[in-house]
Amino acid sequence: MLKRPGITLDRSTLSDWVGRACWWLTPLYDLVLSTVLSSGKMFADETRLPVLDPGRGKTKAGRLWCCAVDDRPWAGSAAAYVYSEDRKGTHPAPHLAAFKGRLPRLPGWTDLAKAMRDLLRHFEGLIVYLGDGRVEMDSNVVERAIRLVTITRKNSLFAGSDDGAAGGQSPIP
């Protein structure tokens, strides 16, 4: 965009600008995350996010967790993203500690046998679904929200560092 008129900017300058923009967006990100976590029901999922691993000349697999709510038509919808360096369950625990609602856990099915196995495996989730009319049957809300990350992942190759990946969680729409 700036190359055409002959303006050359160093990658580190652009990275600094993005980092500063993320810093200014942090209060908005905190508000979105607290709004999602204060909901009575929430969907959660994670996806791989390649992150540059300095010294190895390769990328490592970071994780971007998506927490989403969709209470339409009664209320609005929102999605918040939280970065972690790996897939360990200790990473989502701190931000999920504030959540006191329900996590729907019923997956979709394709045939009767798979449906019966899923029913038995997720019986507790079925009871939650049947007992609370606000709980959704599937996790399409978070799947749609995390799709933005997977599309971006294909276009951007990798995040430059763990701090860069964590900073990038706030401006994602």
pLDDT, one tens digit per residue, over 79-88 is 999 888 887 7
Task: Using the predicted structure, report yes or no on whether residue 53 has a pLDDT greater than 80.
Answer: yes
Q: Which two tokens stand for residue 142?
A: 């978070």
Most confident of 30-34, 41-45, 93-97: 30-34
Q: What is the pLDDT of residue 34?
A: 92
φ, ψ of residue 85 in degrees (nearest 5): -70, -25
CA 78, 136, 73: angle at the middle one, nearest 5? 55
pLDDT band (50, 70, 90) for residue 171: low
119 vs 159: CA distance, rounded Å: 39
Q: Which two tokens stand for residue 145?
A: 């929200």
Looking at every residue in the chain, the average pLDDT score rounds to 80
pLDDT band (50, 70, 90) for residue 115: low
Q: What is the pLDDT of residue 109?
A: 42
